[in-house]
Amino acid sequence: DAKTTQPNSMESNEEEPVHLPCNHSTISGTDYIHWYRQLPSQGPEYVIHGLTSNVNNRMASLAIAEDRKSSTLILHRATLRDAAVYYCTVNNAGNMLTFGGGTRLMVKP
């Protein structure tokens, strides 16, 4: 199963864009890339997913490298409520997710 690597933590200022990187160098051709986030005392929450093309939704954008070995979650304007642990995961054909340690995002006012 493909594994993911993310920085342990990142800081951002409120109202500024945030780029959260993820490496998944062993990803296979049919694996989807999913991002989840986990707020304190809550279960993970789905953010966005994609296969090859860049994706946008109301929460974030997902930029996927051409070789698919890395991706970047983009929060266009960070708010204090975006402070969370962000997980990059790979969703294989069995619909199983492989979670890494995630990136703790801290947002400064």
Partner 1 sequence: DVKVTQSSRYLVKRTGEKVFLECVQDMDHENMFWYRQDPGLGLRLIYFSYDVKMKEKGDIPEGYSVSREKKERFSLILESASTNQTSMYLCASSPGTGIRQPQHFGDGTRLSIL
80, 14 Cβ separation under 8 angstroms: yes
| 53 contacts partner 1 (rule: CB under 8 A) | no
Binding mask 54-83 for partner 1 (x = CB under 8 A): ------------------------------
Between 4 and 70, CB nearer to partner 1: 4
| 52 contacts partner 1 (rule: CB under 8 A) | no
Between 49 and 68, CB nearer to partner 1: 49
Backbone angles phi, psi at 80, to 5 degrees: -60, -30
Question: Which of residues 12, 44, 78, 84 is near partner 1 by CB under 8 A?
Answer: 44
Kindly state the tokens that stand for 93. Answer: 């054909």
Could you list the residues that contact partner 1 (CB under 8 A)? 30-32, 34, 36, 41-46, 49, 51, 87, 91-97, 99-102
